[in-house]
Structure 1
């Protein structure tokens, strides 16, 4: 009887300790493979945006988040996403870019190097197994390089760099289906100011693959769309949109 009581006591203590540890500090790490389709184009004069035919790419996104119970101090999430792509177009009008001027009817290749890093500060307004809701701000850092090359004369090329931090509103809603391991979430950041619009939305179905005292592991299958409409960010204007399905995994320590 004493051994039985002792075993129950130890089990209860370990369960309480695990719950308390998760309440005090939660570390999340995730990675996603994104099948990305790109549309739109860019310019550096604001009057002659050229839309390119971009190739579909598979890109990666990685994030970490730290949650804690300290009042008034926000939780933090950092996410980095690669959105490099390339494409081509046959110009219908003259196109000035960088130090070059390309005439109409010229075949042009482009190489887009773009990385976004999100620095998110957020509060959990609800947080339980059935529903959770986060709200905060996102400082999205854009870092890019744009290349254009004359298809028939590779020695004729133009290059522009741009970077900047864009403040955005952030929110996330997640729901769980009791006793199934399944859930879903929608997450997004948004800014619209004058002629500049940047948005980053994703929605996914999730499945809890592993859940124990040491680690939780969740699979994700969803869709993500990122819009980058720039109005003179380091002299760059764009109407680019990146979208497509993704698969990911998240680990909670």
Structure 2
């Protein structure tokens, strides 16, 4: 409720700004049904040991909320701005018959694993667009700030690093139909880390108010996180993981 109120407040506060010529303001949100696959790293007898998210931790699919806003203007050298907040949380109840260490704790064999996952993050994207008709092409830099952790019983591995990523977006619309499609991606490959987040969305604009576009959206988002925290100033107790999160989403956006 608090996040929804924040998004609405951003839209209302933008009305005077959007009235300026050649200035665009976007705001929206969607619900993302997310499935989890992959592994996280632990140690067993001093050796690396992988814990499966599906088979060992048995993480459940979850519905996650995403809110975003973007401000675009015609000044060539000054970047446009997009902010996006993603809630990415789930739980799981699994078991294991092997002793291991994770998050500063030691687990004996035949133990129940009560997992809580929080990979929430905020994206600040600075980008430029090419002045093309019908087609949208944007590119720039995204800083992704994680504020998360993965807890198994009393052991906790944190993920709270800022990660710089390249950003690109391409899209197009069919004139006189209200339909458009768009794909965007963020990516970094650095050290032992490879992190990609991409989404494809179809949008329909409801012809209701001349100065306000109300859009219904549906799409697919995939989030691949293969991270070594030491690449970004972390240490060995932080979360080391190779996780794939993906699923469809439904949402709405406003354009002034």
**TM-score grouping bracket, smaller chain normalisation:** 0.7 to 0.9
TM-score (norm. length: structure 2): 0.82
Shift of 1:87: 1.3
Rounded Cα–Cα distance in structure 2 between residues aligned with 1:210 and 1:186: 23
Rounded Cα–Cα distance in structure 1 between residues aligned with 2:85 and 2:165: 16
Could you say what secondary structure the match of 1:54 adopts? Answer: coil
1:126-171 Cα distance to aligned partner (Å, 9 max, x none):
354x21110111111111122112xxxxxxx212333111111101
Q: 1:249 aligns with which of 225, 248, 252?
A: 252
Match in the other structure for 1:8: none
Where structure 1 has 5 or more consecutive residues not aligned to the other structure, the ranges are 1-19, 150-156
CA contact (8 A) 1:42 1:49 kept: yes
Rounded Cα–Cα distance in structure 2 between residues aligned with 1:139 and 1:105: 41
Match in the other structure for 1:30: 28
1:43-70 Cα distance to aligned partner (Å, 9 max, x none):
3569222112210111100000000111
CA contact (8 A) 2:95 2:111 kept: yes
Match in the other structure for 1:57: 62
CA contact (8 A) 2:42 2:51 kept: no
Match in the other structure for 1:69: 74
1:168-227 Cα distance to aligned partner (Å, 9 max, x none):
110111111122111111011011122211111000111111364321111111000111
Q: 2:210 aligns with which of 196, 210, 213?
A: 213
* Equivalent residue runs for 1:142-153 within 5 Å: 142-149=146-153
CA contact (8 A) 1:54 1:85 kept: yes
Match in the other structure for 1:240: 243
Match in the other structure for 2:190: 193
CA contact (8 A) 1:51 1:89 kept: no
CA contact (8 A) 1:126 1:134 kept: no
Match in the other structure for 1:133: 137
Matched residue count: 226
CA contact (8 A) 2:92 2:114 kept: yes
Q: 1:80 to 1:222 in 2, by over 3 A?
A: same
Where structure 2 has 5 or more consecutive residues not aligned to the other structure, the ranges are 1-17
Could you say what secondary structure the match of 1:183 adopts? Answer: strand
Shift of 1:88: 3.1
CA contact (8 A) 1:202 1:224 kept: yes
Rounded Cα–Cα distance in structure 1 between residues aligned with 2:20 and 2:252: 19
Greater Cα radius of gyration, structure 1 or 2: 1
1:86-143 Cα distance to aligned partner (Å, 9 max, x none):
1133325322112321133322121011211110000011354x21110111111111
Rounded Cα–Cα distance in structure 1 between residues aligned with 2:183 and 2:94: 35
Could you say what secondary structure the match of 1:239 adopts? Answer: strand
CA contact (8 A) 1:210 1:218 kept: no
CA contact (8 A) 2:41 2:51 kept: yes
Shift of 1:23: 4.9
